[in-house]
Amino acid sequence: MNDRPTCYLSTQAEDALRRVSTATLTSQMLKRGYRTTFMAGVAPVRPDLRMVGYAFTLRYVPMREDLDLGPTDNRASIQRIAVESVGPGDVLVIDARGDVEAGVLGDILSTRMQVRGAVGLVTDGALRDVPAFRAMEFPTYCRAAHASQSAVRHHPADLNVPVGCGGVLVMPGDVVVGDAEGVVVLPRAIAEEVALAALEQEEIEAFVLEKIRAGASIHGIYPPDDATRAEFAKRRG
């Protein structure tokens, strides 16, 4: 079921995305006309971990009692199929409609995804077993913690379809980047150029910050004018 193209970024672009901030990426996206790329209210469980991967999406709809009674069938449940379908480089992005009244996933299923090579988990809902997630080397982002299992509020409906998460459209295969601030989504068609442009932006901003700390006015420095850019280019060689 994981049949969309993945791992299409160059090594240089992936390395850039592991260094630049989500704030810089949103700036680069805004320059290209994309206004809504950062997930609202979705925070890291482990702010010390970075995440770069490709979206594998799971859509939940509201639970109804005739759908989710009885034990879970691992071979029929869309949630369990998702867990057994993610692969290397995938980030499971779960559309929970912003509902935090039950966890969408716990640590055992997430550990299975990690073993399969997934590199992260993102939801605009809640997670259960959050203390266990804090001990895992697995980037995880959510809106809240909730001990109840998913079937209390959620029914898994679709895999690898366009979803909304934290107010952002996520298409299967989009590049998903997370840092201590949160999660940004990059459409695959422009992810490479955005990554490289973001790295260049951060390099010149480091030069600008150095000048500001030394007492320079922001005039002509931030944003940098042609003279400042020329000075930066000369410094960089």
Whether the CB-CB separation of 179 and 105 falls below 8 Å is answered with no
Whether 108 and 198 share a structural domain: no
Q: Is residue 209 part of a domain?
A: yes
- Both 172 and 203 in one domain: the answer is no
* Claim to verify: residue 29 and residue 144 sit in the same structural domain: yes
Residues 165-214: tens digit of each pLDDT? 999 999 999 999 999 999 999 999 999 999 999 999 999 999 999 999 99
Q: Can you give the pLDDT at residue 231? A: 94
- Outline where 67-115 has alpha helix (H): 78-83, 107-115
CA distance 202 to 236: 13
Q: What is the CATH number of the domain that holds 45?
A: 3.50.30.40
- 210 and 180 in a single domain? The answer is no
5 is a domain residue? no
Number of structural domains in the chain? 2
Name the pLDDT band for 2 (thresholds 50, 70, 90).
Answer: very low
Neighbour count for residue 131 (Cβ, 10 Å): 9
Task: Assess whether 182 and 197 both reside in one domain.
Answer: no
- Whether 197 and 93 map to the same domain: the answer is no
Q: Which of 186, 204, 228 is the last residue of a domain?
A: 186
Instruction: Verify that 177 and 129 share a domain, yes or no.
Output: yes
Same domain flag for 117 and 215: no
* Type of residue at 32: R
Q: Does residue 3 belong to any structural domain of this protein?
A: no
In a domain, 1, yes or no: no
Distances (CA, A) of 62 to 67, 83, 102, 156, 198: 10, 20, 11, 9, 38
The two three-digit tokens of residue 229, written as one number: 């850019």
Do residue 220 and residue 179 come from a single domain? no
- In terms of residue numbers, what domain contains 227? 193-236
Residue 51 counted as domain residue: yes
Do both 64 and 137 map to the same domain? Answer: yes
Closest CA to 178 of 30, 43, 36, 11: 43
In this structure, is residue 129 part of a structural domain? yes
**pLDDT exceeds cutoff 60 at 93:** yes
- Convert the pLDDT of each residue in 11-59 to its tens digit: 999 999 999 999 999 999 999 999 999 999 999 999 999 999 999 999 9
Q: What is the dihedral sign for C-alpha 180, 181, 185, 191?
A: negative
Q: Is 2 within a domain?
A: no
Are 146 and 227 within one domain? no
What contacts 142, CB < 8 A, 6 or more positions away? Answer: 42, 43, 45, 104, 122, 123, 124, 125, 126, 127, 130
* Phi, psi values for residue 48, rounded to 5°: -80, -10
Distance CA 108, CA 174 (A): 26
pTM (2 d.p.): 0.94
Are residues 65 and 23 located together in one domain of the fold? yes
Mean pLDDT lowest among 49-53, 63-67, 80-84, 144-148: 63-67
Does residue 110 lie in a domain region? yes
